[in-house]
Structure 1
Amino acid sequence: MSDQQWAPSRRAFLGAAAIGGLGMLLAGCSGDSSVAAGTASELRGPPVKGGTLRVGFVGGGAADTLDGAIATNLGDLARAINMYDTLTTHDDDYHVQPMLATSVTPNADASVWTAELRTDVKFCDGRPMTARDVVASIERIIDPTDPKNGAAGLATLAEVVATGEHTVEFRLRSPDSSLDDVLAKYDMTIVPTDFDVANPIGTGPFMLDRFIPAQLTVLKANPYYWGEEGPYLDSVELLNFNDTDALINALLSTQIDVAAQIPAALSEVIASDTRMRVLECQTGVWLPFTMRCDVAPFDDERVRQAFRLAVDRDQMINQVLSGHGRVANDMYAPLD
């Protein structure tokens, strides 16, 4: 992994950027009276500090969580990426880059990895982040009595040790050439040694202001944020909706500024409204047709090949995804 410093400026600026990475965003026109009715606002000049971004999405429920290490649904992900950081991260091309660590490097056989931490990072309560916090965070993730989402990715980890105030060693049972990639997953969150999900503390650009499961999350700017830029917004509001119709209606009535993950089938219709701008990004999501290769008839390779050849996959993309997709290469997602 490169030791080049990376500044997550777009993440800090957008606040709810996590949502954009999971599908299509629908942005409405600005509430500024200087914007002509019926036209989407143009972005001009440098970012301006201040304001609130209201983001709507479908889903959520009583199980919504503030614990980024067990984030599952769209709201959980948005909260996790805005409130917490990880040792490494992925850039727009899905290459591993430094984040809370300035470098994460292996020994000769990749059985021991050393993370050198930034020395200027503070949690949102003003406390400095140290190697002890990183060790506690990783041990929390792999706790055998309560393993978190990222525990499987750390299955080869024998122990994690603080070898200095800002240095951590990951000692593995067997070599792992991609541990830096594992540590970049959104659920590998770094939190204080005394982390309490009832009062969540992180290092992300935003911190918790208010949380009502299945309804509302309000995040406010973290005054101790370590990034070179941002956060520019004063606050981000994440609003839950029961269905897509309610979500789109909220956008059209200016109750929200952004709608996340609009259905592909609606994208062309919505884009025809000059007040709207559809933002589309490539993701790593892939949709397989899964067959039990140990059970007839799929234990016959010819049957599996026949299924592959019988389906017009380009036609499926056009009809099911309204053209917003690509034919998979049968083994890996585009960003693998």
Structure 2
Amino acid sequence: MNSQITRRGFLGGAVLLGGAALVGCAPDAQRQQAASPGTLQDGTPRRGGRLRLGVVDGDRAGTLDAHKPLTIGSIIRGFAVYSKLWEWNAEMNWSPALAEETEANADATTWTVRLRQGLEFHNGKTITADDVIFSARRLTDPALGSPWAALLFTLDRERIDKVDERTVRFHFKDGKGFVPFPDTFTNFGAIVPVDYDPAKPVGAGPYKLKEFTPGQRSLFTRFENYFKDGQPYADELEIIDFQDEASRIAALQAGQISLANGIGADQVRLLQGDPRVSVVVSQTSNWQSFDLNLSKEPFRDERVREAFRLLTDRKELVERALSGHGRVANDLYSPQDPTFDRSIAQRPYDVERAKALLKAAGQENLQVELVSGEGGDAAALVFAAQAKKAGVTVTVKKVDAATFNGPRRLDWTMSTGGLLTESFLSSALHLDAPVSAANKTHFSDPRFTELFEQAITQPDVARRAELVHEMQRIQHAKGGLVIWGFNDALDAVSTGVGGVVPEHTQFATWRFEKLWVKETT
């Protein structure tokens, strides 16, 4: 099949863009390899009952704003209330949701999207092209100040055309193509009505908001006219906020909640042998990293950066920090992307070479502070012990989520990191591209910038791969991300809940429309 974009038929409603967005999931047997023996896939879906999900979220203020979710709790609540043009499927590729058809022109300078017939918001209003245009403009409105607007930096807000009541055509600045448009818009591009009020949110998701007490709980009721026939199954969904993992796990074991997403690997051991709970393991390409700030000493020096990569025992980090629930990484993200360069050799663990590089850089007996955010403490402490072998003293500073993600988030000299896997270009827009949303490493390389600007407009997958391969070699040699591992997503699920299936994402317990209560009272 010609990899150049042309006007073509649609596969399941999503166009194949040079191989960048492949629709469909791996066989169930392949996904099942990532599941624990107790994965809850049995049973026939039934209607009724209340699902109760516990989340750990340090934000006491809370928010339900569709386009400005700032914490994990806000993002998860958005999965209940809102729907998007596209959604992430089980293989972490975009697939159609509200969109019936998606088509890019030959050079990806325009994307045309047609809505499904008869879509409704929670208030009964028909979803039209006007709502899509409003939503895209709201997300990218500087006045809103969404941190996610940068992901759509090239969208021309003034040239979003209404073709008809169900069809919208998107254009991009300077007439340039934008290959990762569906990826980036799928992140936080919820479709809301033109009279949207975040204080009284209306969406098109599987559940309607009934009650919301920020920092405590939110209650939702089933949306009967949800666009997926027969779903959702439960009458109600309740999301309860916890301040720490221990209290959330205790609530799960006591039957006060039925789902706990993204539990720590250390919690798995506590749940082993409990017949009331199953742990669902999803093998993902979500990565864990140590982020080096290249705008500060000692990491301005490439020799120091290389030394830190070499003194990182990745296998030990996976075994100890992730309790074996993951796999070793090689300082590069998005291994599932078809343009990923698999020829780059795995960086070795070499303490002696690291010591030699530090000596050459005049950084013997180096002392560095490593700031650890929520979930990064175990890795930080393991790394600190590893660094001692090379004569480096790493002081771990633990901070709460609000501090870690606050005004200083781009200023730490060294910090723990990690991100949900996406396509290479979309991930770069989050991390280290010249227009990235949160460049913690302050990575800036003229050749990398030049290549990125070419790649993001290149629809041909083979030509784009050549550009990405060179970009990844630059990242591997000069970048500030020490990506040491890919972690599994671990979800704890009561045996009274059905429909939780392992994926290659972290969304197994967020697919609220697919989950059901096995027994209702």
- Measured at CA, do residues 93 and 2 of structure 1 come closer, stay the same or move farther in structure 2, by a change above 3 Å? farther
The 2-side partners of 1:197 and 1:294 are apart by 38
CA contact (8 A) 1:3 1:98 kept: no
Secondary structure in structure 2 of the residue aligned to 1:168: strand
1:235 is matched by which residue type in structure 2? Answer: E
Determine if the alignment matches structure 1 residue 49 to structure 2 residue 51: no
Structure 1 window deviating more from structure 2 (107-116 vs 130-139): it is 107-116
CA contact (8 A) 1:69 1:149 kept: no
2:326 is matched by which residue type in structure 1? Answer: G
Structure 1 partner of 2:106: 108
TM-score normalized by the length of structure 1: 0.84
Structure 1 partner of 2:164: 164
Structure 1 partner of 2:305: 304
Q: 1:152 aligns with which of 137, 150, 153?
A: 150
| Structure 1: gaps spanning 5 or more residues | 7-24, 27-39
- Measured at CA, do residues 235 and 294 of structure 1 come closer, stay the same or move farther in structure 2, by a change above 3 Å? closer
How far does residue 79 in structure 1 lie from its aligned partner after superposition? 1.2
Structure 2 partner of 1:223: 224
CA contact (8 A) 1:140 1:147 kept: no
The 1-side partners of 2:219 and 2:117 are apart by 29
CA contact (8 A) 2:115 2:167 kept: yes
The 1-side partners of 2:84 and 2:221 are apart by 20
The 1-side partners of 2:131 and 2:243 are apart by 38
How far does residue 294 in structure 1 lie from its aligned partner after superposition? 5.8
How far does residue 150 in structure 1 lie from its aligned partner after superposition? 3.1
The 1-side partners of 2:297 and 2:43 are apart by 62
In the TM superposition, what are the counterparts of 1:310-325 in structure 2 within 5 Å? 310-325=311-326
Deviations 1:148-194 (Å, cap 9, x if unpaired)?
24311221111212111111011111211111211211x11100000
The 1-side partners of 2:310 and 2:41 are apart by 46
CA contact (8 A) 1:264 1:322 kept: yes
- Measured at CA, do residues 139 and 93 of structure 1 come closer, stay the same or move farther in structure 2, by a change above 3 Å? same
Deviations 1:76-95 (Å, cap 9, x if unpaired)?
11210111111111211112
How far does residue 305 in structure 1 lie from its aligned partner after superposition? 2.6
Structure 1 partner of 2:352: none
The 2-side partners of 1:197 and 1:60 are apart by 21
Structure 1 partner of 2:366: none
Structure 2 partner of 1:213: 214
Secondary structure in structure 2 of the residue aligned to 1:184: helix
1:54 is matched by which residue type in structure 2? Answer: R
Determine if the alignment matches structure 1 residue 181 to structure 2 residue 162: no
In the TM superposition, what are the counterparts of 1:120-159 in structure 2 within 5 Å? 120-158=118-156, 159=159
CA contact (8 A) 2:130 2:165 kept: yes
How far does residue 227 in structure 1 lie from its aligned partner after superposition? 0.8
The 1-side partners of 2:311 and 2:59 are apart by 40
Q: How much is the aligned-residue C-alpha RMSD, in angstroms?
A: 2.4
Structure 2 partner of 1:22: none
- Measured at CA, do residues 269 and 249 of structure 1 come closer, stay the same or move farther in structure 2, by a change above 3 Å? closer
How far does residue 288 in structure 1 lie from its aligned partner after superposition? 2.0
Structure 1 partner of 2:282: 281
Determine if the alignment matches structure 1 residue 66 to structure 2 residue 74: no
Structure 1 partner of 2:89: 91
Identity, in percent, stands at 36
Structure 1 partner of 2:263: 262
When Rg is computed on C-alpha atoms for both structures, the one with the higher figure is 2
| Structure 2: gaps spanning 5 or more residues | 1-8, 15-34, 336-420, 424-521
Structure 1 window deviating more from structure 2 (84-93 vs 150-159): it is 150-159
Secondary structure in structure 2 of the residue aligned to 1:113: strand
* Aligned structure 1 segments of 4 or more residues deviating by more than 6 angstroms: none
The 2-side partners of 1:78 and 1:132 are apart by 26
The 1-side partners of 2:183 and 2:215 are apart by 31
- Measured at CA, do residues 141 and 272 of structure 1 come closer, stay the same or move farther in structure 2, by a change above 3 Å? same
CA contact (8 A) 1:2 1:98 kept: no
2:165 is matched by which residue type in structure 1? Answer: E
The 2-side partners of 1:205 and 1:271 are apart by 32
1:313 is matched by which residue type in structure 2? Answer: R
In the TM superposition, what are the counterparts of 1:17-56 in structure 2 within 5 Å? 44-56=42-54
The 2-side partners of 1:275 and 1:128 are apart by 43
Structure 2 partner of 1:17: none
- Measured at CA, do residues 54 and 331 of structure 1 come closer, stay the same or move farther in structure 2, by a change above 3 Å? same
- Measured at CA, do residues 258 and 304 of structure 1 come closer, stay the same or move farther in structure 2, by a change above 3 Å? same
The 1-side partners of 2:41 and 2:184 are apart by 35
1:209 is matched by which residue type in structure 2? Answer: K
Number of matched pairs: 305
Structure 2 partner of 1:4: 12
CA contact (8 A) 2:39 2:278 kept: no
The 2-side partners of 1:276 and 1:244 are apart by 16
1:319 is matched by which residue type in structure 2? Answer: R
The 2-side partners of 1:280 and 1:196 are apart by 37
How far does residue 115 in structure 1 lie from its aligned partner after superposition? 0.7
How far does residue 62 in structure 1 lie from its aligned partner after superposition? 3.3
2:161 is matched by which residue type in structure 1? Answer: V
2:67 is matched by which residue type in structure 1? Answer: A
CA contact (8 A) 2:108 2:177 kept: yes
Structure 2 partner of 1:9: none
The 1-side partners of 2:151 and 2:76 are apart by 21
CA contact (8 A) 2:13 2:99 kept: no
The 1-side partners of 2:209 and 2:114 are apart by 28
The 1-side partners of 2:199 and 2:311 are apart by 53
Secondary structure in structure 2 of the residue aligned to 1:279: strand
1:166 is matched by which residue type in structure 2? Answer: R
